[in-house]
Amino acid sequence: MDDRPRYMISVAADLVGMHPQTLRIYESKGLIRPRRTAGNTRLYSETDIERLRLIQQLTNDLGLNLAGVEQVLQLQDEVQRMRRTLDRMEREMREAVNKVHRQYRRDLVPWTPPRDLIPTRR
């Protein structure tokens, strides 16, 4: 998802079919955090647009109020953080396992047991 800010509030509102005031309300409630220019103009990214669409789906299709939407978004954000942490830990574990494998593979020496030690059937 593209996180570069590029849409002014009027364009973002048109893209998601909302009134610009609705976007301002969502920002004041902390549901969305558009970036700001030096002149304090709100700029929305593709990630922000997708989040606005999710908010719209949660309120219109599922009937959640903004408090419910806030909880869902917080849980979703936490799941994403946990997923990133888990991915990082898996990468680190794979690297550690590969390092161990490389270490003991160098130390392995082929061994053939002497023939006289192998029991034979009589």
pLDDT digits (tens, 9 = 90+) for 73-108: 999 999 999 999 999 999 999 999 988 887 775 666
Tokens 């849980």 map to which residue? 75
Strand pairing report for 7-8 and 42-44: antiparallel
Query: What residue ranges define each of the domains in the chain, with the CATH number in brackets?
Result: 7-107 (1.10.1660.10)
pLDDT digits (tens, 9 = 90+) for 6-54: 999 999 999 999 999 999 999 999 999 999 999 999 999 999 999 999 9
Among left, alpha and beta (phi > 0; psi -120 to 50; other), residue 109 is beta
Whole-number Å distance between alpha carbons of 122 and 118: 13
Whole-number Å distance between alpha carbons of 87 and 93: 10
User: Over 80: is that where the pLDDT of 121 sits?
Assistant: no
- Phi, psi for residue 32 in degrees, rounded to 5: -140, 145
Query: What tokens appear for 27 in the block?
Result: 């920002």
